[in-house]
Amino acid sequence: MKKFLFFFICVIISLNNFAYADDIPALDDLEDYSFSEVSSFSSNEPITNSKNIVAIDRKTLNILYEKDAFKKVAMASTTKIMTCIIALEKCSKSDIVTISKNSASVTGSTLGLISNMKISMNDLLYGLMLRSGNDCAVAIAEYISGSVEEFSNLMNKKAQELNLSNTHFVTPHGLDNPEHYTTSYDLAILTDYALKNEQFRQIVSTKTTTISFNGYPKTISNTNELLGNVDGVYGVKTGFTFDAGRCLVTSCKRGNLDVIIVVLGADTKKIRTQDSSNLINFIFNNYKYVNISSSIDEAFSKYISFLNDNLYLEKTTTKPILKLEKLENYEFPFLNNSPIELNTKIYIIDKFTPNIMVNSKVGSLYLYNGNILICNVDIFIDNQLIKNDWKYYFKCILENLPNNF
């Protein structure tokens, strides 16, 4: 009996110290989940219990909801969003990968890769994103860069390109490491980028697929519990480690509203599911698009009238012709029942000189709803300012000579 008790205690201790990287079944997986649609919310914001959350509108990247969205935290297997997009950009899905002993021995959630087996990059990517295989992540990293360390350098370089200033990668799978972190906001921006890749979008929207595994068919299912259960959800990734908690990145589109919701640091799978579902219901029941083009044009037109009477010109008499940047989109999300109080702030350079080249940026227009920044639009000069020549200065001298000279 004592030996059994000692063995049982050792197993519990080892489980508590083991770092998973995804949704390996735990006690909370047995809980019942509710995916019911809610007609409306009486409160201004939905109820959420996870530690770090953000919801962004994909059309504008505006934040619709956030809770500690800029805090650096562990990200678990949501890491694999970056791993997958790099693989899609660096190699072909038809490439054949030979599995190393190192990748076959990785712990946590795995596809079950075997040393020396050959598998297509396509099947590795489905194993990576549906089954959340840590072994798939390492195999991809070694195939592309030769090692996990070198692949991590690629991940960090991509993070810099996307201006993910609060993100740093150490591994392609996301097992806990103090130097491996992100924020829910950075993760949302990364996800938006990845979803622009049609192959990525196809993978993460797949509920179940069959791959070729060591010469035999193997059916795998997506760990994303919202996919196929909540209207409009089309991806993207789950995650779990003891440091990160339960994590879920979700993309959902209904009508012309397309959002990404990132939930990190949930205590249980049920909480991350409910938080994500609550946010989806809240956003699609309470947000609408408003076209802000007329507000921008009107504010700019009034400012130009003011500016023409208050220009400071140096070494030129040519008046500048200013133009606004053309935005790709003029529709921005606003809460249905909240007052819309649009106002603008415009900043222009102090003086205009002939040194300013045509199409140079000379200022910016900022549009706010109350105190919340909606967007900013750059202002450019549309003509070349002519430098005053000797004739101008000679004329000035003549005009200023005394009448009795």
Q: What are residue 230's phi and psi, to 5 degrees? A: -120, 125
Collect all residues with Cβ–Cβ distance below 8 Å to 65 and sequence separation of at least 6.
45, 46, 53, 54, 55, 279, 282, 283
Residue 67 · residue 47 · CB < 8 Å: no
Query: Strands 63-67 and 52-57: what pairing?
Result: antiparallel
Q: What is the DSSP string of 102-145?
A: HHHT--SS-----TT-EEEHHHHHHHHHTS--HHHHHHHHHHHH
Of the candidates 152, 154, 161, 170, the one whose C-alpha atom is nearest the C-alpha of residue 76 is: 170
CA 184 to chain centre: 8
CA atoms within 13 A on the CB side of 181: 13
Between 121-129 and 80-90, two packed helices, what is the crossing angle to 10 degrees?
Answer: 160
> Is the four-CA dihedral 153, 248, 186, 199 of positive or negative sign?
positive
Is 80 assigned a catalytic role?
yes
Q: Listing from the earlier edge strand, what are the strands of the sheet with 372-381?
A: 322-324, 372-381, 361-369, 342-348
Q: What are residue 247's phi and psi, to 5 degrees? A: -125, 150
Collect all residues with Cβ–Cβ distance below 8 Å to 184 and sequence separation of at least 6.
52, 53, 54, 66, 68, 69, 73, 262, 263, 264
Is 14 assigned a catalytic role?
no
- Asked if residue 236 has a cis previous peptide bond (ω within 30° of 0), the answer is yes
Is 323 assigned a catalytic role?
no
- Indicate which residue of 50, 77, 103, 152 is catalytic: 77
Between 80-90 and 134-145, two packed helices, what is the crossing angle to 10 degrees?
Answer: 40
- Indicate which residue of 67, 80, 158, 237 is catalytic: 80
Residue 195 · residue 201 · CB < 8 Å: yes
Write out the two tokens for 372. 């919340």
- Indicate which residue of 103, 132, 251, 277 is catalytic: 132
Q: Which residues are catalytic?
A: 77, 80, 132
